[in-house]
Amino acid sequence: MDAIPRDYDERCLFDAFCKTVLRNEAQNYFRDMKRRRDREVSLGSLSQTDLDKLFTVDHYPSDSFTFSSHGCDLHIDNELVAEAFAALPSLEQSILILHCVLELADGEIGSLVGMSRSAVQRHRTKTLSELRKQLKALMPKGG
């Protein structure tokens, strides 16, 4: 009988190793797919409450009104709020933009617009109060 070449034994071992690895990969794949199937739910079986949670809202620059001050932009989506804000003098707009968007303190806003901290605070609270009154007047009763 002829002797079996050594490289034949190595090839057989390598082939056996490859088959074992592939079998394990296949088992892992099928186990993972079963786990996913067990977790997945058909959209048809969801309640209306759950379906209502599955949505997204796209925001486009053209859908909002933009007001700028000191390189900072304030985007307002509501047309009534934007109209009320646009009616404000530019100084009050700047103060509110810096306060609401950049969250600057009154003293920091004052140094940017050339006013004292207390003057900025007075302008800000008075302007917000006026805006609140204007918007409440526009809201439907009970809203």
3-state secondary structure of 67: strand
Dist CA 56 CA 58 (whole Å): 7
Per-residue pLDDT tens digits for 6-23 = 677 778 888 888 999 999
- 5 pLDDT tier (thresholds 50, 70, 90): low
Name the H helices within 1-143: 6-39, 48-52, 79-86, 90-100, 106-113, 117-138
Q: What is the dihedral of CA 96, 97, 100, 103, to 10 degrees?
A: -110
131 DSSP 8-state letter: H
Percent of the chain residues topping a pLDDT of 90? 50
pLDDT of residue 142: 53
Per-residue pLDDT tens digits for 14-68 = 888 899 999 999 999 999 999 998 888 888 888 888 888 888 888 787 888 999 9
Query: In terms of Cα–Cα distance, which of 75, 77, 79, 111 is closest to 95?
Result: 111
Dist CA 136 CA 78 (whole Å): 14
**pLDDT greater than 80 at residue 4:** no
pLDDT of residue 92: 94
Q: How far, in whole angstroms, is CA 90 from its chain's centroid?
A: 30
pLDDT of residue 24: 94
Tokens of 48: 């209306």
Pairing mode of beta strands 72-76, 65-69: antiparallel
Dist CA 116 CA 4 (whole Å): 98
